[in-house]
């Protein structure tokens, strides 16, 4: 049973998260030949002021959703 942790910067809508977990589940099922009820996905939202890219806080960068 795959357990997948996905980290993303907070702020995406629930609709985008639904699309994400559906797409990842489908890809895992196709790759491993398993059913969706065997796939676990954990979304971990990172606060933009506690995560950096290239030495710059994400909160200080222009967001590209």
**What domains sit in the chain, N to C, each tagged with a CATH number?**
3-60 (3.30.429.10)
The residue-averaged pLDDT of 2-18 equals 96
Cβ burial, residue 2 (10 Å; 0-12/13-18/19+): middle
Say what the pLDDT of residue 61 is: 87
> Residue 64: is its pLDDT beyond 90?
no
Interacting residues of 40 by C-beta distance below 8 A, sequence separation 6+: 1, 2, 3, 4
User: Nearest-CA neighbor of 31 among 65, 63, 2?
Assistant: 2
Active site residues: 2
Give per-residue pLDDT as tens, 36-56.
Answer: 999 999 999 999 999 999 999
Structure tokens at 17: 């998260």
> Residue 27: is its pLDDT beyond 50?
yes
Say what the pTM is: 0.83
DSSP secondary-structure letter at 58?
A: G
């Amino acid at each position: 049973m795959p357990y997948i942790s996905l980290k993303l910067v907070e702020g995406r809508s629930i609709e985008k998260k639904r699309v994400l977990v559906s797409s990842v589940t489908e890809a895992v099922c196709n790759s491993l030949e398993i059913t969706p009820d065997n796939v676990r996905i954990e979304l971990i939202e990172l606060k933009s002021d506690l995560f950096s890219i290239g030495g710059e806080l994400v909160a200080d960068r222009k967001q590209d959703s």
